[in-house]
A and B are shown apart, each in its own frame.
Chain A
Amino acid sequence: MAKSKAARKSGETMKMKSSREMVVQGMDDEDEEELQCALADDIISASEDEGGSDDERKHCKLLEAISSLGGKKRKKLTERSEASIQVSEFTVNAEGEGDKINLSDLIGTLDKTPSALIKTKKQLKNLQHNQSTLETPLTRKETERIQREVAFEKTSKEVSRWQSVVLQNQKAEQLVFPLNQEPSGPKRIEQVVAGWKAQTPLEQEIFSLLRMNKQPLHDPVLTPTEEASLRAMSLEEAKIRRAELQKARVLQSYYEAKAKRERKIKSKKYHRVQKKVMRKEYLKQFDEMVKTDPAAALEELKKMELSRMKERMSLKHQNSGKWAKSKAIMAKYDDGARKAMQKQLEVNKDLTLKLVIPADEDEEDEEESAETLPDFVNDAEHILDQVNPWMRGKLSTDPMVQEESNRLDPPVVRPRELGTPGEGRDDQEEDEEQMEETEEEALLRGFEERRKLRQTEDVEVAPMSMEENDDGKKAEILEISDDNEEAVEISDDEEAVEISDDEAGLSKFTSLFHGLVNNHMEPPADQPKAGPGVGQGESPALLEEGLVRVRTLEDVELLSQDVSASDPAPLTTTQTPGTEETDTQSATQQADKKRKRKKMIDPNEVLTKEAKVIKMPLAPTAVEDVEGKEEQRVIIKEAFAGDDVISDFLKDKRKQEEAGRPKVIDLTLPGWGEWGGLGLQPSRSKRKRFRVKVAPPPPRQDQKLPNIIISEKRDSSIAAHQVCQLPFPFENPTQFERTIRSPVGRTWNTQNTVQKITAPKVVTQLGAIIEPIAREYLIKDNRQAVTGPSINLESDQGPQKKRRSQQKKKHKRKKN
C-alpha cells in the first residue's frame, strides 16, 4: 500500500516536472505575461522541493500512515503540513503552539504607560467575563418573511402611485391608444408652431444641425446672418447676384447633360481618342500656364501629384484585376498577353516612380509624420466635419459640445504631406531592390509589402477609431436621453394646460346649456290630467245603479235628439236629467267645472255623451233627410230590440272582474274531528279557521272607466327583451330608465350625434404599437389632477381654471 502511494507520489512529481518542461517549451511562443506566470509557478514548486527536510517529512508521513492503519480512523486523509510550522525561517520556535493565549498577554510588552495598560487590561477582563452571547440569527423563514414584508410595502407604495391613473382610465369616456397621441383634427397655427417639439431622433438631429448652423427654430424670422446679409446687400445687387447664380446653375446643368450624354457613348476608340486629345490639350495648357502663371501651374502640379498618389495607393495597373490574372495565365504561351502585361507594369512603374526630392526634407517629413500619424487621421475627419456635416459619421452629437471642441482646437490646417512616411520608406526600398530582382519578383514583393503596410495602418488606426466611436456613442446616448426627458416633460405640461383649457370651455358650455334647459323646463305645459288615477273611489253599488240609469238615459237622449233635429240651430241635449238645456259652449264650460269639482267619471256622462249634430251641405242620396227621423228611431229600435248592448258589456266586465279576483282557499276537511256524512256541514268555527284569505289584488286599471275593460293579464312576451335586473351603478329603476330614454339610432338622430353617442370605449390606431404606460405619464397625471377632473358641471369655476391654465402656459413660454 505504502509502496503504491510512494509510486504515485513519484508519478506526481514526474508529472509536475513534465508540465514544467512543457511550460518552458511553450514559453517561446507565449507572451511575457504568461512567461511570468510560468516562472512564478516554477519558483513555488522549487521552494516546495527545496525543503531540506524532505526525507524527514516523508518518514513522518509513512509513520502516520502506518499508525493510521491500526486505528479506527482508517480513512484519515493524509494532510500536507507546512514546513514553516516546524522550522521557522525567522528563528522563532513554535513551542507554545497548542497553548491558549490570553488577551492581556498580547499587550504585555507595552509597559510605558502603566495606567492605560491597567485600564485596558480591565476592559479586556470585563470583555472576557462578559458572558452575553450574540443573539442567534433569525431562521431563514423569518428573515424571508421580514424581507417579503418590506418588499411588499415598498412595492405597494410604488404601485399605489398609479392608483389615480387607473381610476381615471376607468372613468374615462373614451380611451385612445397608443397613449400620448396628438389629438387629431385641425389646430390653430399658434398651437402648431409653439407646441411642436422634436421627438424622433431624426428630428432631433435635424434640429441640432439647424441650431448649429444658426437657423431659426421657433419663430420663423430670419437668422442673424441672413439679416446681416439683407442689410449688406441692396435689392439690385441681390438681383444681379441671383441672375448670376441662375446662369451658373443653368450652365452647370448644360454641362452635366453633356457629360452624361458623352459618358453614355460606349465606343472605346472614341474614348481613347478623346483621352488623347484631352491629354494633349492639358499639356498645352500646362505649358502655357508655366509661362504665364507659375503659381497656378504649381497648383496643377500638386494636383497631378495627388492623382499620382492616388494611383499608387490603388491597385490599378498592378495586374491584380480579373483581366490581368487571365493574362498572367496566358503569358506563358502568348506573346501578346505578355506584352500587354508588360505594358501595364510599365505604366504602374511610371506612376509609382519615386520623384526626386531633397534628402533632408524627406527626413524631416519622416520625423514629423511619425509623430503626427494618429493626428492625421483625426484631422482628416475634422476637415470632413466642417465641409459636410452629414458625413461626420458621428450622428447626433450635441452642437454645443461640437462648437466648444471647435473653439478649443481651432481648425489649424497642419502641413499635411501627402506622401506618408511609411510609403516613402517603402518606395526607397523598392527602388533599391528593383535593380536586382526580376520584374515578377518585384511585383510580388510590392504586393506583399503593400499589404503589410495596409495591415499595420489598420492596426494603428483601428483602436483609435474604436475609442472615438465609443465615446461618441456614450455622449450621444446621454444627450438623447436628456433631450427626451426634457422634451417629454415640456410637452406633457403643455398638454395638461390644453386639456384644462378644454375642460373649462366645456364646463362653460354645459352650464349655459343647463341654464337654457332649466328655463325651458320651468314653464311646463299644463298637461291634461288624464288616466284612471284621477277620479275618486266609486262604490260598486253606484255602478250597478248606473246600469239601469244608463239605459233610461239612452232612451231620453234619443228622444231629445228627435226634438232637436227639427231645430235649425245646432242643438244640445241634456247632460243629466237634472240639468237644463244650454248651448254648447256653456255646456262645455259646465263640464269643465264639473270635472274640476269632482274628478270622477260618471258612467252616464261617458256612455251618453251629447252628440253634436253636423249639418251637411250635400244630402246623401241614399238616405232621405229630416222627414224620416221618426222612422229611423223605429228602425233602430227594431234592429236592437233583442240585444241590450250596454248591459251585456257591463255583465262582461263584471265577469272579468270576478275572474281577476283571487279565490279564497278552503282547507276544511269534512269529518275531521267531528261527525261527517251526507248532509252534514263542518262547523262554522272550523270553516273560519281553515279558510285562507288572500290579499286583495291591486285596483283594476279600468276601475274608473265604466265603458272600458282593460285586460289585467301580464304580457310576458316583451319581458324577455326587457332588463330585469338593474345594472351596476344604478340604484333605482328610474335612474336607469332616464339614462336610456333617448334613442341612439340614426332614425331619430343626426349623423354627427349618432357618431358621438356611439363612440367606442377604446380606440386603437391601426398598426400602431401600444406600449405600456410610461412613468412620465404619472407626473403629467398628477398635474392634471391639480387642474380637475375631466367632466365639469360647475360653470363658475370654468373661467378661473382657464385663467390658471393660461398663466401656466405663459410661464412655460417664458421658460422656453
Chain B
Amino acid sequence: MPTAIKPHRRRSQPVGMTYQFLPEVKKYTTKMAASGETMLKKPHVGKKRKPPTRYWEGTEENGKNDGKKQKEGDNNKQTPQQNKKRTKEGGKRGGAGEKILSGKSDPFPGSAPVPEEKLKKFKRGEKGELPPRPQYKLRDVVVRSEAASDLAQKQNARYDLMLPEDAGFLEGDEDEDTCTISQDDIADAVDITAGAKYFNLTLSQFGPYRLDYSKTGRHLLLGGRRGHVTCLDWQSKQLMCEMNVMETVNDVKWLHSEALFAVAQKKWLYIYDNKGIELHCIRKFNDVLRMQFLPYHFLLATASATGFLQYLDVSVGKEVVAICTKAGRLDVMAHNPHNAIIHLGHSNGTVTLWTPNQREPLVKMLCHQGGVRSVAVDKTGTYMVTSGMDKKLKVYDIRSYRPLQSYFLPAGASCLSLSQRGLLSAATGDIVQVYRDVWGTPVTKPYMAHRAKGSVWGVHFCPFEDVLGVGHGEGFTSMVVPGAGEPNFDGLDANPYRSAKQRQEWEVKALLEKIQPELIGLDPSQLSQVDHSTWEQRHEDRVQALGFDPLAKEKFTPRLKTKGRSSSGKVEKRKKQVAHEDQRDVIRQTVEDRMKIDKERKEKEKKEAAAAGQKSALDRFRK
C-alpha cells in the first residue's frame, strides 16, 4: 500500500530523515473525530505542513496583513500604503543627520524588524513600571535591566531564524487511519537512511528488555531481564559493548555521557563504562527497581523495592540523600525535565512528587483508583500522563494539579513515554500505540500503532530523532514515528554529531555549570525571588542546621568560692541577683521602648493637629 508521508526536514541531510515522495504514492487523509476548526488552532496538530519559515518571508508586516485579510475583503490598497509608511519612517530614522559619504540613502534604514510572535517566544516575565524620577538611582538600575532584557529578547528572536526546521507528521488518505499504516510501509516509502531506523533486534534468550537512549540520542542501552546488557551506537549499528551480568537486571540508564551507564541489578547498583568494565558497585543502593538521571544536576535518582528514594551525585560519587517514602515497593518512576522533580507512582493510586531537600512528598496526587502502572512527564514540565490498574490513562496539568483528560484504554497501558514534541507512546500488552496531543482535544484513536513480538517491557522515544525504541520479550524494536523528535537541537547542550573533543569540552562545561541539589524545587524560578521568610523562620532554619542556638544566652553558673561563701544559700542568692539584674535590664528596655513609642505618637498627633485644625482663639492660652 503506497503512502505519502509528510517530509520531515532536518538540518543535516545525511543523518536526519527525509522522506521521499514516491510516484505511485496514494494519499491518505486523517480521520480525526474532532472537528477541523479546533484542530487548526493547535500548531503541532496542523493538517498541512507549512514550509519552514524563512527570514525573508516572515516579517511583522506580513503577519499583520494576514490578520487583516481575514477581516477585510479588499486588501490590495493596504500593502503599498504600509510600505510607504515604513519607508517614511525609515527615512526619518536614517536621514536624521548622518550624511553618508556616498550620498545615497539607505533603502532599508535601521535594524531589521523582528516578528512579534518570535519576540513573544523569548519573553521573560512582565515588565514593571518605572519608578518615579526623583529616585534616580533606582530608576537607572531598572532602566538598565529593562534595556538588557529587551536586548536579550530581541537578539534571541533574531537568532531564532537559525532554527527553521519544523516537524512533519504522517498523513493518511481519505478513509484511512494513520494508525493502520505499518512500519514496513513507512520504511519502504522513505529514503534508505530513514528506513534504516526501523529495525528489529531479535534477542529472545534473555527476556524482556529495558532500554535507554543517551541525551544526544546517538547511543542505545539495552538491559535484558536475565542479565544481558549491551550498548550500541544504534544509527551505525556499531556495538560498543555486550555482556551478561549473570544477575537480574531491573533497569539500565545512561549517565551524563555515553561513556558511563548505570545498571540496577538484583541486589546492588553497578556502574559500567562503555567498554563494559565494571567501575563501581554501590552498596548503599540496594534493590533498585527504577532509575532516573537528572542531567543538569548530575544526580542519579533511584527507587528501590524497599521504598527508598535515593540520590547519587555521579560527579563526586556521593549519596546526596536517602528518603524513605513509606509507600512500599517503588516500581513506577519519572522525572520532570523542567524542574528535576521525581514523580513516583504507588500502588494506592497516588503519584508523589519529591525533591532531595524534603523528607516528605511535596505533592501527593490521587490519580487512579487502582495502583499506578506508569508515569510520564512532558518536556516543558506542564503535563503529566499516568496510567493505572483501573485501565485509565489520565493527563494532568502539574502546574495547577488539575486533571485535563481521562481516557479509558481497554487493556490499560503498562509503559508510557513522551517524546520531545509531545507524542505519547503507550504500551498495552504487546501493542505499542502512539498518540498525538493527548492533552488538547480528546483523542479517540491512536496516531500510530505497532505490534511488537513480545510483551512490551520498556518504551522510550529517541531524542532528536523520529524514533521510538521498544524493548520487549523478544528483543528490541526501533519504530519510525514521524514528528516525534525535536528537529532543532542545541549544539552546546546535546549535539548528536559531536566529536570526542567536543564531548570532552561539553563535559567540563557541564560540570562547571552543575546545579546543586539544594536548588531543586517545584518552582525553578524560585532562586530569582526574594526570600520572604521572617527572621524567626530563618533563625529556626539556622538552629536546625547547626544543631544549637548560636544566639541563646548562656546560663549563669555561679563561681565556686571558698570559706563558706559557696554555700547553697549563697549560691542561690547570687543566682537570684543575676536573674534580677537581667530582669531589670529587660524592664528598662521595654520601658524605654514604650516611652519612645509614646513620644513618637505624641509628636505625630501634634503634627496632625497642626496640619488639620486651624488655630483657635483659645490656643494662645495653651502652653
Question: Which residues of A are interface residues toward B (Cβ below 8 A)?
Answer: 171, 173, 188-190, 501, 504-505, 508, 510, 512-513, 516-517, 519-521, 530-532, 554, 561, 570, 584, 588, 601, 606-607, 609-623, 625-626, 632, 636, 639-640, 643, 645-646, 648-649, 652, 702, 705, 707-711, 713-724, 726, 728-731, 733-743, 746-750, 752-753, 756-757, 791, 793, 799, 802-803, 806
Q: Which single member of B155, B451, B516 contacts A752 (CB below 8 Å)?
A: B155
Please determine whether B449 and A649 come into contact, CB atoms closer than 8 angstroms.
no
**CB neighbours of A606 from chain B (8 A):** 402-403
Most buried by B among A512, A742, A750: A742
Q: Which single member of B135, B445, B518, B538 contacts A729 (CB below 8 Å)?
A: B135
Please determine whether A611 and B366 come into contact, CB atoms closer than 8 angstroms.
no
**Given A718-B526, A737-B529, are A614 and B119 neighbors across the interface (CB < 8 Å)?**
no
Please determine whether A520 and B120 come into contact, CB atoms closer than 8 angstroms.
yes
**CB neighbours of A735 from chain B (8 A):** 128, 131, 138, 142
Residue on B nearest A557 in the bound complex, by CB: B369
Please determine whether A802 and B97 come into contact, CB atoms closer than 8 angstroms.
yes
A617 to B533, CA, bound (A): 56
**CB neighbours of B148 from chain A (8 A):** 742, 756-757
Question: Could you list 6 further interchain pairs (A-B, Cβ under 8 angstroms) beyond the known A609-B394, A645-B370, A753-B155?
Answer: A513-B154, A611-B392, A614-B410, A617-B446, A718-B357, A724-B531
Interface residues on B, range: 35 or more
**Given A640-B369, A739-B142, are A719 and B400 neighbors across the interface (CB < 8 Å)?**
no
Please determine whether A720 and B518 come into contact, CB atoms closer than 8 angstroms.
yes
Please determine whether A645 and B150 come into contact, CB atoms closer than 8 angstroms.
no
Please determine whether A724 and B442 come into contact, CB atoms closer than 8 angstroms.
no
**CB neighbours of B126 from chain A (8 A):** 738
Please determine whether A648 and B348 come into contact, CB atoms closer than 8 angstroms.
yes
Please determine whether A724 and B530 come into contact, CB atoms closer than 8 angstroms.
yes
A747 to B493, CA, bound (A): 8
**CB neighbours of A618 from chain B (8 A):** 431, 449, 451
**CB neighbours of B526 from chain A (8 A):** 718, 722
**Given A640-B369, A740-B145, A740-B528, are A617 and B430 neighbors across the interface (CB < 8 Å)?**
no
Question: Taking the nearest CB of chain B, how far is it from the CB of A485, in angstroms?
Answer: 30
Please determine whether A738 and B145 come into contact, CB atoms closer than 8 angstroms.
yes
Please determine whether B370 and A639 come into contact, CB atoms closer than 8 angstroms.
yes
Residue on B nearest A571 in the bound complex, by CB: B408
Most buried by B among A517, A521, A584: A517
Please determine whether A617 and B366 come into contact, CB atoms closer than 8 angstroms.
no
**CB neighbours of B130 from chain A (8 A):** 793
Please determine whether B364 and A708 come into contact, CB atoms closer than 8 angstroms.
yes
A461 to B519, CA, bound (A): 87
Question: Taking the nearest CB of chain A, how far is it from the CB of B315, in angstroms?
Answer: 18
Question: Taking the nearest CB of chain B, how far is it from the CB of A590, in angstroms?
Answer: 14
Residue on B nearest A607 in the bound complex, by CB: B366
- Binary contact track B400-425/A, C-beta < 8 Å → 1, others 0: 11110111111100000000000000
Question: Taking the nearest CB of chain A, how far is it from the CB of B178, in angstroms?
Answer: 10
Please determine whether B119 and A620 come into contact, CB atoms closer than 8 angstroms.
no
**CB neighbours of B281 from chain A (8 A):** none
A607 to B393, CA, bound (A): 13
Most buried by B among A189, A531, A617, A734: A617
Question: Taking the nearest CB of chain A, how far is it from the CB of B426, in angstroms?
Answer: 9
Residue on B nearest A606 in the bound complex, by CB: B403
Q: Is B605 an interface residue (CB 8 A)?
A: no
Q: Is B486 an interface residue (CB 8 A)?
A: no
Question: Taking the nearest CB of chain B, how far is it from the CB of A569, in angstroms?
Answer: 10
Please determine whether A620 and B533 come into contact, CB atoms closer than 8 angstroms.
no
**What are the 3 closest A-B residue pairs judged by CB atoms, nearest first?**
A620-B429, A741-B125, A742-B149
Q: Which single member of B128, B143, B399, B407 contacts A734 (CB below 8 Å)?
A: B128
Please determine whether B405 and A612 come into contact, CB atoms closer than 8 angstroms.
yes
Please determine whether A719 and B541 come into contact, CB atoms closer than 8 angstroms.
yes
**CB neighbours of A709 from chain B (8 A):** 361, 363-364
A583 to B140, CA, bound (A): 59
Please determine whether B529 and A733 come into contact, CB atoms closer than 8 angstroms.
yes
A117 to B492, CA, bound (A): 112
A-B contact list, 8 entries, CB within 8 Å: A516-B119, A613-B407, A617-B180, A639-B389, A718-B526, A718-B527, A719-B531, A791-B144
Please determine whether A721 and B407 come into contact, CB atoms closer than 8 angstroms.
no
A512 to B361, CA, bound (A): 49
A734 to B142, CA, bound (A): 11
Q: Is B302 an interface residue (CB 8 A)?
A: no
A67 to B431, CA, bound (A): 148
A618 to B147, CA, bound (A): 57
Please determine whether A750 and B156 come into contact, CB atoms closer than 8 angstroms.
yes
Please determine whether A614 and B446 come into contact, CB atoms closer than 8 angstroms.
yes
Please determine whether B97 and A717 come into contact, CB atoms closer than 8 angstroms.
no
Please determine whether B357 and A717 come into contact, CB atoms closer than 8 angstroms.
yes
Q: Which single member of B119, B361, B366, B397 contacts A530 (CB below 8 Å)?
A: B397
A748 to B524, CA, bound (A): 15
Please determine whether A645 and B349 come into contact, CB atoms closer than 8 angstroms.
yes
A554 to B349, CA, bound (A): 14
Q: Is B502 an interface residue (CB 8 A)?
A: no
Question: Taking the nearest CB of chain A, how far is it from the CB of B150, in angstroms?
Answer: 6
- Binary contact track B349-367/A, C-beta < 8 Å → 1, others 0: 1100001011011111111
A584 to B97, CA, bound (A): 65
Question: Taking the nearest CB of chain B, how far is it from the CB of A648, in angstroms?
Answer: 7
Residue on A nearest B117 in the bound complex, by CB: A520
Q: Is B497 an interface residue (CB 8 A)?
A: no
Question: Taking the nearest CB of chain A, how far is it from the CB of B323, in angstroms?
Answer: 13
**Given A722-B526, A730-B138, A742-B148, are A616 and B365 neighbors across the interface (CB < 8 Å)?**
no
Q: Is B201 an interface residue (CB 8 A)?
A: no
A803 to B60, CA, bound (A): 31
Please determine whether B531 and A723 come into contact, CB atoms closer than 8 angstroms.
yes
Question: Taking the nearest CB of chain A, how far is it from the CB of B436, in angstroms?
Answer: 12
Question: Taking the nearest CB of chain B, how far is it from the CB of A7, in angstroms?
Answer: 87
Question: Taking the nearest CB of chain B, how far is it from the CB of A377, in angstroms?
Answer: 54
A516 to B118, CA, bound (A): 13
Q: Is B101 an interface residue (CB 8 A)?
A: yes
Question: Taking the nearest CB of chain A, how far is it from the CB of B180, in angstroms?
Answer: 6
**Given A717-B357, A731-B138, are A609 and B406 neighbors across the interface (CB < 8 Å)?**
yes
Please determine whether B528 and A737 come into contact, CB atoms closer than 8 angstroms.
yes
**Given A613-B408, A614-B407, A622-B430, are A636 and B390 neighbors across the interface (CB < 8 Å)?**
yes
Q: Is B177 an interface residue (CB 8 A)?
A: yes
Q: Is B494 an interface residue (CB 8 A)?
A: no
A264 to B203, CA, bound (A): 92
**CB neighbours of B513 from chain A (8 A):** 747
A735 to B130, CA, bound (A): 9
Question: Taking the nearest CB of chain B, how far is it from the CB of A707, in angstroms?
Answer: 4
**Given A612-B442, A645-B348, are A623 and B365 neighbors across the interface (CB < 8 Å)?**
no
**CB neighbours of B97 from chain A (8 A):** 501, 802-803, 806
Residue on B nearest A501 in the bound complex, by CB: B97
Please determine whether A615 and B128 come into contact, CB atoms closer than 8 angstroms.
no
**CB neighbours of A729 from chain B (8 A):** 135, 137-138, 140-141
Q: Which single member of B124, B406, B443, B492 contacts A747 (CB below 8 Å)?
A: B492
A613 to B541, CA, bound (A): 50
**Given A717-B518, A719-B538, A733-B530, are A520 and B99 neighbors across the interface (CB < 8 Å)?**
no
Please determine whether A750 and B348 come into contact, CB atoms closer than 8 angstroms.
no
Q: Which single member of B154, B179, B180, B429 contacts A623 (CB below 8 Å)?
A: B429
**Given A612-B407, A739-B145, A753-B155, are A799 and B136 neighbors across the interface (CB < 8 Å)?**
no
Question: Taking the nearest CB of chain B, how far is it from the CB of A211, in angstroms?
Answer: 27
**Given A719-B538, A739-B141, are A731 and B349 neighbors across the interface (CB < 8 Å)?**
no
**CB neighbours of A740 from chain B (8 A):** 145, 528
Residue on A nearest B119 in the bound complex, by CB: A520
Q: Is B478 an interface residue (CB 8 A)?
A: no
